[in-house]
């Protein structure tokens, strides 16, 4: 793996970029430096045309990301707190709107900022030992990296409020049952399952995948009518691509399509 970062590992191979938060002694907690490195890593993955899918995980077998760095939080003034939250939101927004699928391989604790980070990803695959939660109220805070907004969109208002107001954690099995994660697998099978899912996605046309992500992400904030107009616009864009010509021709010729992202 490339060691261009102090708190991350980054490797691009076989159409995938692997981003690993590498602070196992701190349970991969997010401090300012790590957030900055995440922004750099995802900017690199987004601009690398060879990267089709990004996999995000944490070092070790205890934590995906156990939260923000409490020592930094404890020193924040009101103005600094707003800036701190806005900076983290911008990084997570970049991940969500990357234009390429980002799969969170949640391999342990995903608490506070870690849960918010997982929710900013396109898909979430969890190991059986993972634990999720937004415990900020127990510190006298609220989630600041999008948790109050993404959580209810994923699990519904009531379940989100129960987690947010109590600060209590949920198991991987419960996270699956409420829609917080998409799949739960044994810890030993986590990365192979994620790799298999990424491989299935990479069989699809790259531009069509990107437009699907855009349609869902933007459409969730629109009325049904506006969302369908967005869908029609993106369908039209797909219709002008070489990949659409190749995909339809391959189907009619009963062969595997060879997409080029054009």
pLDDT digits (tens, 9 = 90+) for 167-202: 999 999 999 999 999 999 999 999 999 999 999 999
pLDDT mean over 58-84: 86
Among the listed residues 11, 39, 128, 136, the single catalytic one is 136
Catalytic residue check, 256: no
| The overall pTM is greater than 0.85 | yes
- Distance (Å, rounded) from C-alpha 196 to C-alpha 218? 27
231-237 CB contacts, 8 Å cutoff, 24+ apart: 237/207, 237/211
259 three-state secondary structure: coil
Domains recognised in the chain with CATH numbers: 8-201 (3.90.226.10), 206-252 (1.10.12)
Report residue 45: phi and psi, to 5°. -65, -40
In the structure, what pLDDT confidence band is assigned to residue 108 with cuts at 50, 70 and 90?
very high
pLDDT mean over 12-35: 94
pLDDT mean over 41-46: 96
Among the listed residues 39, 96, 116, 193, the single catalytic one is 116
Is the CB of residue 19 less than 8 Å from the CB of residue 41? Answer: yes
In the structure, what pLDDT confidence band is assigned to residue 3 with cuts at 50, 70 and 90?
low
With left for phi above 0 and alpha for psi between -120 and 50, is residue 69 left, alpha or beta? beta
pLDDT mean over 11-40: 94
Q: What is the mean pLDDT of the chain?
A: 93
Residue tagged 């205890």 (tokens)? 62
Catalytic residue check, 116: yes
pLDDT mean over 233-240: 92
Tell me what pLDDT residue 253 has.
86
Report the DSSP pairing between strands 63-65 and 109-111.
parallel
The tens digit of pLDDT for each residue in 115-172 reads 999 999 999 999 999 999 999 999 999 999 999 999 999 999 999 999 999 999 999 9
Report the DSSP pairing between strands 170-171 and 131-133.
antiparallel
């Amino acid at each position: 793996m490339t060691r261009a970062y102090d708190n991350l590992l980054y490797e691009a191979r076989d159409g995938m970029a692997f981003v690993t938060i590498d602070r196992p002694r701190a349970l991969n907690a997010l401090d300012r430096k790590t957030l900055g490195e995440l922004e750099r890593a995802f900017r690199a993955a987004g601009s690398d045309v060879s990267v089709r899918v990004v996999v995000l995980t944490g070092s070790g077998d205890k934590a995906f990301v156990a939260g923000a760095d409490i020592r930094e939080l404890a020193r924040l003034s009101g103005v600094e707190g707003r800036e701190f939250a806005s900076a983290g939101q911008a990084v997570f927004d970049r991940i969500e709107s990357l234009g390429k699928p980002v799969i969170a391989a949640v391999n342990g604790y995903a608490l506070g900022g870690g849960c918010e980070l997982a929710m900013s990803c396109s898909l979430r695959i969890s190991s059986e030992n993972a634990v999720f939660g937004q415990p900020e109220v127990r510190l006298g805070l609220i989630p600041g990296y999008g948790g109050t907004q993404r959580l209810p969109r994923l699990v519904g208002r009531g379940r989100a409020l129960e987690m947010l107001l109590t600060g209590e954690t949920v198991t991987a099995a419960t996270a699956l049952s409420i829609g917080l994660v998409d799949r739960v697998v044994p810890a030993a099978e986590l990365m192979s399952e994620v790799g298999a899912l990424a491989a299935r996605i990479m069989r699809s046309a790259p531009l069509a995948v990107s437009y699907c992500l855009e349609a869902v992400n933007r459409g969730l904030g629109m009325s049904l009518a506006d969302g369908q107009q967005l869908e029609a616009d993106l369908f039209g864009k797909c219709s002008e691509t070489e990949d659409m010509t190749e995909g339809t021709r391959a189907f009619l010729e009963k062969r595997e399509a060879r997409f080029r992202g054009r």
